[in-house]
Structure 1
C-alpha cells in the first residue's frame, strides 16, 4: 500500500529531494580554499584558547539540552497537518530572526567585548528556536532523544560540506539509529566538542568578525544574526519535514499489515 500524500506533502517531498542533493554535494573550489585558510588560522590559535572556547560551547549546549528551562511550555502540536506545522514554524522563524537581529545589533554596537559576548548568547537563541520548532512539528523535547536530534540539526546547519552527508544520513534514519543511543550523559561524552565548535566557528566566522569592526558592528551584527537564523530555520524545518513524512509512511505501512 502506497502512502497517500496530500498535494502539499507531495510538493514538500520534491522540495526535500532538491535540498538533500544540495546537502550532499562535494565542496567547490572556493569552499575548499576557504576551509584550508580556516584550518591554517585554527592551527595558529593556541590550544589553551581552543580548549576555552570548546569548554564554553560544551557548557552552553549541555546546559541547554539537558536543562528544563528551554523546554517550551506549550504542548507539541500533535495531529495537525504538515502544512499547519509549517505555518507555525514560519511564525517561529520570523520571531526568532527578529530576536537574533536585535541581539546582534545590540552587541555589535557595544564594541569588541559585547561582540564576543554575542557568541554564546546566539547559540542559546538558536537552540531555543529549535526546541520550539520540535514542538511545532509534534515532537516533545521532554524526550532526551528529541534534544539529541536538535543537536544533529544544529550541526547540519553549521557544518562544512564534508560533514553534512553523514549528519543527514543520521537525521534521515533517526527512527532506527536513535534507539541504539546510550543514556544522555554517556552520549555527551562521545561528542567531539572541539570539532563541533570549530565547524560552527568556521561557518559563521567571517560574518561575526565583521561585527567587531567599529562603526558598522550594529548593522553587521543584525544582518549576520538574521541570516544565521534563516539558515538554521531552513535546515530545521526540512529535517522535521523529513521525519513527519517518514512517520506517515511508517504509519500507513503498519496499518496496511
Structure 2
C-alpha cells in the first residue's frame, strides 16, 4: 500500500534529507587520512596509471557534452517503477515524476544494491593483479559512478539526456567526493535546482569552468585506499571493499539530492493546486 503524499508526509521526508545534509558536514577519520598521501601517490604511481587518471578529464568533459557511453537504460528503470506502481502508466521519464516518492525510493534502493555489488566484483577482479590492473579500475569505476547517478535521475523523473541534468549529476559526484567546505559550496550551487530557478540553466552552465575539480576530488578518494589495492591478491579484498563503499556513497548522494528536488517540486505543485482552488 502506497502512503498518501500529503504535505505533512513530504515535509517529514524533506526533514530526513535536511538532517542527512547536516551529517555531511563532517568527515570520517578514514576520509581525513585518505586525503594525506597524494604527493607520495604521485611518486609511486607509474606513468601509465597517471595517464589513465588524466583521461578522466576527457571522460567527464565528454559526459557533460553528450552523455558519453554511460547513458542509463531508461526502459529498465521505468519498468521497475511500473512494477512498483501499477496504477500509474510509466512509459517516459516525465511520467516517472508522477510516481509516488515511496515507489521511487524502492527502485532507488535496488539500484544502489545492484551497482554496489557490481562495483565490489569489479574491484576484486581488478585487484587480482595489484598495481598492474589498477589502471583498469579507475576509468571503469568512474563509468559505474556516472551510470549509477543517471539511473537514479531517471528513477526520480529527471532525464539525463538533458545537458543541465548531466551537470547536476557531475555536481552530485563532486559532492560525494568533496570535503566539508566543498559540500557546503556545492549545496549552495544546487540550490538553483532545488528552487527550480528560472535562471538555473544559464547560471549552472556558467559554473562549468570548475568541473575539472570533480576529477581532482574524485582522485582524492583513491588515496591510500587504492595504494593498498596495489598489492597483488590482497588487492582483491581492498578493491572490493573500497569500490563498494564508494558506489554506496555516490548512490546515497544521488538518492538524497534527487529525492529532495522531487519533494520540493511536489510541494510546489500542491501549493499551486491549493491556490487555484482558492481563486
- What is the TM-score with the length of structure 2 in the denominator? 0.77
1:86 to 94, 105, 117: 105
Deviation sequence 1:6-45 (CA, Å, 0-9, x none): 53x34422321211112235x689866764x346557879
Which residue does 1:179 correspond to in 2? Answer: 201
SS of match in other structure, 2:7: coil
Which residue does 1:72 correspond to in 2? Answer: 73
SS of match in other structure, 1:90: helix
- What is the TM-score with the length of structure 1 in the denominator? 0.83
1:216 aligned onto 2:215:
no
Which residue does 1:21 correspond to in 2? Answer: 22
- Kept in 2, the 8 Å contact 1:97–1:229? The answer is yes
Q: Distance in 1 between matches of 2:127 and 2:29?
A: 32
Q: Sort the Cα spacing of 1:51 and 1:211 in 2 relative to 1 into closer, same or farther, 3 A.
A: closer
- Kept in 2, the 8 Å contact 1:78–1:138? The answer is yes
- Kept in 2, the 8 Å contact 1:135–1:141? The answer is yes
Q: Distance in 2 between matches of 1:59 and 1:99?
A: 24
1:103 aligned onto 2:103:
no
SS of match in other structure, 1:140: coil
1:247 aligned onto 2:265:
yes
Q: Distance in 1 between matches of 2:211 and 2:186?
A: 14
| Larger deviation, residues 52-61 vs 202-211 | 52-61
Q: How many positions carry a matched residue from both structures? A: 247
Deviation sequence 1:106-160 (CA, Å, 0-9, x none): 1001231211210111000110111111000011112111111100100000111
1:235 aligned onto 2:237:
no
SS of match in other structure, 1:214: coil
Q: Sort the Cα spacing of 1:61 and 1:41 in 2 relative to 1 into closer, same or farther, 3 A.
A: same
Q: Sort the Cα spacing of 1:154 and 1:56 in 2 relative to 1 into closer, same or farther, 3 A.
A: same
Q: Which runs of no fewer than 5 residues in structure 2 stay unpaired?
A: 76-91
Deviation at 1:214, TM superposition (A): 2.1
Q: Which runs of no fewer than 5 residues in structure 1 stay unpaired?
A: none
Deviation at 1:178, TM superposition (A): 2.4
Q: Distance in 1 between matches of 2:42 and 2:127?
A: 27
| Larger deviation, residues 205-214 vs 49-58 | 49-58
Which residue does 1:207 correspond to in 2? Answer: 225
Q: Distance in 2 between matches of 1:180 and 1:87?
A: 33
- Kept in 1, the 8 Å contact 2:126–2:236? The answer is yes
Which residue does 1:169 correspond to in 2? Answer: 188
- Kept in 1, the 8 Å contact 2:145–2:250? The answer is yes
- Kept in 1, the 8 Å contact 2:74–2:154? The answer is no
Q: Distance in 2 between matches of 1:73 and 1:31?
A: 34
- Kept in 2, the 8 Å contact 1:71–1:142? The answer is no
Q: Distance in 1 between matches of 2:56 and 2:112?
A: 23
Q: Distance in 2 between matches of 1:130 and 1:71?
A: 9
Deviation sequence 1:174-227 (CA, Å, 0-9, x none): 1225232476xx764x1351x332221223322222111123111111111111
Deviation sequence 1:44-80 (CA, Å, 0-9, x none): 799x999846641111112333235414332422310
